[in-house]
């Protein structure tokens, strides 16, 4: 049974499946904002997110004949967006093009001092977001991937394991490391 959807969208989808680009344009209008949010939450970089969104819709258009409607169109589209976004993270990492300044040597070697109270929760929301963006950028791509898929996209560990191609146990340990690295970085900016 097809998932419930707007009748006009079903029509656009059917037309787009037959190659009607104008019908697909309507789908772009309807879904671009949501796809943008998916892309941005994973890559957290404006230009990259724009690339991901464009690639997503291009890929989706070319794959429309294969869309059978087993899942909602938006679900299918978001899966493509996630896949493209993960590609982007990986490529950015390989190029090292956005490698951030290294942490100082002391921090690299030491376990964070966990006896002091964390000032993170005292941060203004805007400041927290700013630091989060800055620190997220410094994470290696594999950590970004699991963190974004879990905390931003709320995927299950199983879904993350499948999307990234790693074992369940690795998802769990990598996620913990990514979270505490991110937390320590955000905290570090306040001390």
The residues in 100-129 that bind other proteins, with binding defined as CB under 8 A, are 100, 102-103, 107-108, 111-112, 114-115, 117-118, 120-121, 125, 128-129
Size of the site for other proteins (CB under 8 A): 100
Distance of CA 59 to the CA centre of its chain: 17
DSSP H helices, 64-155, are: 73-95, 105-109, 125-138, 141-147
Distance CA 178, CA 172 (A): 10
Determine if 50 is a binding residue for other proteins (CB under 8 A): yes
CB of 5 to other proteins, least distance (A): 20
- Judged by CB under 8 A, the chain residues 68 through 107 that form the site for other proteins are 80, 82-84, 86-87, 89-91, 93-97, 99-100, 102-103, 107
CB 112 within 8 A of CB 184: yes
Distance CA 38, CA 17 (A): 23
CB of 175 to other proteins, least distance (A): 6
Distance CA 30, CA 23 (A): 11
- Judged by CB under 8 A, the chain residues 143 through 172 that form the site for other proteins are 143, 145, 147-148, 150-152, 154, 157, 162-167, 169-170, 172
Distance CA 157, CA 172 (A): 7
CB 56 within 8 A of CB 77: yes
- Judged by CB under 8 A, the chain residues 13 through 32 that form the site for other proteins are 19, 21, 24-25, 28-29, 32
Q: Which is nearer to other proteins, 6 or 158 (CB)?
A: 158
CB of 185 to other proteins, least distance (A): 6
């Amino acid at each position: 049974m097809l998932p419930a959807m707007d009748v006009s969208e079903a029509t656009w989808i059917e037309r787009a499946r037959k190659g009607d680009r104008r019908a697909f344009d309507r789908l772009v209008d309807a879904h671009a904002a949501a796809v943008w949010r998916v892309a941005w939450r994973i890559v957290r970089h404006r230009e990259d997110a724009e690339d991901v969104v464009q690639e997503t819709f291009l890929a989706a258009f070319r794959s429309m004949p294969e869309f059978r409607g087993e899942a909602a169109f938006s679900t299918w589209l978001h899966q493509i967006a996630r896949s493209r976004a993960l590609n982007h993270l990986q490529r950015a990492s390989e190029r090292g093009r956005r490698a951030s300044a290294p942490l100082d040597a002391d921090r690299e070697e030491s376990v964070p001092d966990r006896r002091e109270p964390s000032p993170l929760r005292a941060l203004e929301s805007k400041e927290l977001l700013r630091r989060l963006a800055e620190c997220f950028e410094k994470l290696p791509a594999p950590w970004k991937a699991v963190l974004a898929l879990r905390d931003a996209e709320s995927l299950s560990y199983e879904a993350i394991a499948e999307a990234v191609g790693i074992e369940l146990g690795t998802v769990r340990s990598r996620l913990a490391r990514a979270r505490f690295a991110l937390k320590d970085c955000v905290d570090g900016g306040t001390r």
